[in-house]
Structure 1
Amino acid sequence: MKKTWIKILTATMLVFGVMAPATGFASDNTPPKAIDEKLGVPIVVYGANLSEAEKESVKESLKVKEDPEVEEITVSGQDLVKYIKDSNSSSRMYSSAKITRKNAGEGLVIEIVTPSNITQVTSEMYANAMLTAGIEDATVQVAAPKAVTGHSALVGIYKAYEVTTGEKLDTDRTDVANDELSVATTLTQSAGVDDAKVAELLTEIKKDIAESKPATKEEVEKIVQEQLNKLEINLSDKDRQLLVDLMNKISKLDIDFSQWSKQLDDISNTIKDKFGSLMEDKGFWDSVKNFFANLKDTIASWFN
């Protein structure tokens, strides 16, 4: 019996030893994070309707304690009214975020750290809406302690951005950005268009608007239809009109669309750099699979 338990313990240590990060023993020598005296500390914004337990859960998800210093604020329904016209000040606010400024030209990096709890909005949708609102050059992490749509996080990001930069966002742009988020989620939820396809559609339409500078709604409608045809997306008349109306509003905003497109490319490249090569390395994953298959056989033989 004693030998059996020794074998079990050995097997457990083997498995956990494989799964543990290779840099585990070097962690003690890792220098602490430094406060960026030029750009300031990260801003953490919590939904006003979080309970204390939920707030602690969000702090853990956003790894607040790993930063040497943060500034913490709360976003409420009153902020919703400030940034979005005709909104409800009694809205429940649960989505939360941490925003860290970056140097000019470094672009946007969006990460949803609780993906199972943000049910409608994707990182690409946040990026699109943030650029519409005028937010550039930042790392943004979004979290929620329970399943929510994720819409209120955008308002929190607006507030945090103003706090961290000292700048005032154009409320016309933040209002249109909210419309954009709503249309994006409608196309994925109601029209059944893949969220990646929606992000591509919105971006390509914006690029065309930037290049051709349409003067009329009819010209915007033509651009929208051309991209729908190009991407082979079929929408109902109602959903198509929602998209046309949105893009007509965007075409009237003062936006540097070339910079917008560059930042979206940066986001895509960041994701590819992090995960693309590893996920595409079939030989690596085959070796992992074979290792665990052999390990399973070895452990099983100990008990025969």
Structure 2
Amino acid sequence: MKKYMAGFLLVLVLIAPIYAVSGFSITLGEATNNNAAYKNSMLSYFQSKTDKNITDATTKVITASEVNSVSKNITGLVYPSSKIFSCAMVDLSYQNGIKVIVDKSKVTVVTPQMYANALQSSGIDRGYVVVSSPVPATGEAALAGVLKSYEIAVGTPIPEEAKKASTEELYLETQLVNQTGQNGDKVAQLFSDVKNQTQSQNLQNPDEIKVIVVNVANQMNINLSNNQTQQIADSVANSQKVRSNLTNFQDKLQGISQQVSNPGFVDQITNFLQEILNYVQGLVSGQ
């Protein structure tokens, strides 16, 4: 009998990761979570953006320390707990690449494409993302919450160097919006085109990438200083260098995404476990 029970427990251990993640997650900024009115407004907003019941989402709080651990050495800013308002929802059942919805009435600078660029630098190529805040915010700090939502939904951490590369990229994009007078979508397109060409040529040398930046900027009629051009080249080079460390996370992301997009998958696993349980119970009753 011990042999049968050991086998059953082994099956549970192997199947457990499927139940440990839902592919559906919400992160609430620390300040938002501490204010009942703000929290309820965000949950209501997220509910309006999905046909799922948000009570089924795994909900966590994103703290100031988590935001600062990634961003402070990049932005030079240290956020107090009272300033972490941004919230995010991630649903991995979405199967058409990345779709990002940004509440433009509250998030004033960062655009959907800017978030999508940063997510791709973290190895994320799929999912439905919604970003908002109960109070006006520029949106840079919200990236930490989006990344945490993905980690919760996938059940696997994103490598720290990838999170830093994506944060650096988003922060640089927001700086360029302010410095060049270009809108966020155009700056995001600049980064996207440079990254695509860099990846297709498998480049990591900033000097080589800088040539691509100059060419793309000229084609888009975006005037960049030499320093801005170098900053973009360095940022894209960093994104390229961390790609080799993202294989494990990307494999898990793909696997969970496929599982949650198949409504019958969990039912099949449940039925399988029930059959095993019934079998073991039959053995016990027959002893």
Q: Same fold (TM over 0.5)?
A: yes
Q: Which whole-Å CA distance do the structure 2 matches of 1:63 and 1:122 have between them? A: 21
Q: Give how far 1:165 is off.
A: 0.9
Residue 101 of structure 1 pairs with residue 83 of structure 2: no
Counterpart contact for 1:39–1:101, Cα < 8 Å: no
Aligned to 2:46: 62
Aligned to 2:170: 181
Aligned residue pairs, count:
220
Q: Which whole-Å CA distance do the structure 2 matches of 1:88 and 1:134 have between them? A: 26
Q: Give how far 1:90 is off.
A: 3.1
Q: Structure 1 residues 250, 69: CA separation in 2 closer, same or farther (over 3 Å shift)?
A: closer
Aligned-residue CA RMSD in angstroms? 2.6
Aligned to 1:72: 59
5+ unaligned residues in a row in structure 1: which ranges?
1-35, 261-304
Correspondence list, 1:119-158, <5 A: 119-158=108-147
| TM superposition score normalised by structure 2 | 0.69
Counterpart contact for 1:191–1:239, Cα < 8 Å: no
Q: Which whole-Å CA distance do the structure 2 matches of 1:135 and 1:207 have between them? A: 15
Q: Structure 1 residues 215, 47: CA separation in 2 closer, same or farther (over 3 Å shift)?
A: closer
Q: Structure 1 residues 232, 141: CA separation in 2 closer, same or farther (over 3 Å shift)?
A: same
Q: Give how far 1:188 is off.
A: 1.3
Aligned to 1:46: 28
- Secondary structure in 1 matching 2:218: helix
Counterpart contact for 1:84–1:174, Cα < 8 Å: no
Aligned to 1:161: 150
For 1:107, the aligned partner's letter is G
Counterpart contact for 1:188–1:194, Cα < 8 Å: yes
Counterpart contact for 1:43–1:72, Cα < 8 Å: yes
Counterpart contact for 1:45–1:98, Cα < 8 Å: yes
Q: Which whole-Å CA distance do the structure 2 matches of 1:124 and 1:236 have between them? A: 23
Q: Which has the higher helix share?
A: 2
Aligned to 2:201: 212
Counterpart contact for 2:194–2:213, Cα < 8 Å: yes
Moved more, 42-51 or 215-224: 215-224
Residue 250 of structure 1 pairs with residue 239 of structure 2: yes
- Secondary structure in 1 matching 2:130: strand
5+ unaligned residues in a row in structure 2: which ranges?
1-17, 251-287
Q: Structure 1 residues 135, 82: CA separation in 2 closer, same or farther (over 3 Å shift)?
A: farther
Q: Give how far 1:107 is off.
A: 1.4
Q: Structure 1 residues 49, 131: CA separation in 2 closer, same or farther (over 3 Å shift)?
A: same
| Higher RCO (C-alpha under 8 Å, 6+ residues apart) | 2
Residue 111 of structure 1 pairs with residue 98 of structure 2: no
Q: Give how far 1:151 is off.
A: 1.6
> What CA deviation, in whole Å up to 9, does each residue of 1:253-290 have, x standing for no partner?
3269xxx9xxxxxxxxxxxxxxxxxxxxxxxxxxxxxx
For 1:203, the aligned partner's letter is S
Q: Which whole-Å CA distance do the structure 2 matches of 1:215 and 1:202 have between them? A: 15
Q: Give how far 1:75 is off.
A: 0.2
For 2:57, the aligned partner's letter is V
For 2:157, the aligned partner's letter is K
Counterpart contact for 1:132–1:176, Cα < 8 Å: yes
| TM superposition score normalised by structure 1 | 0.66
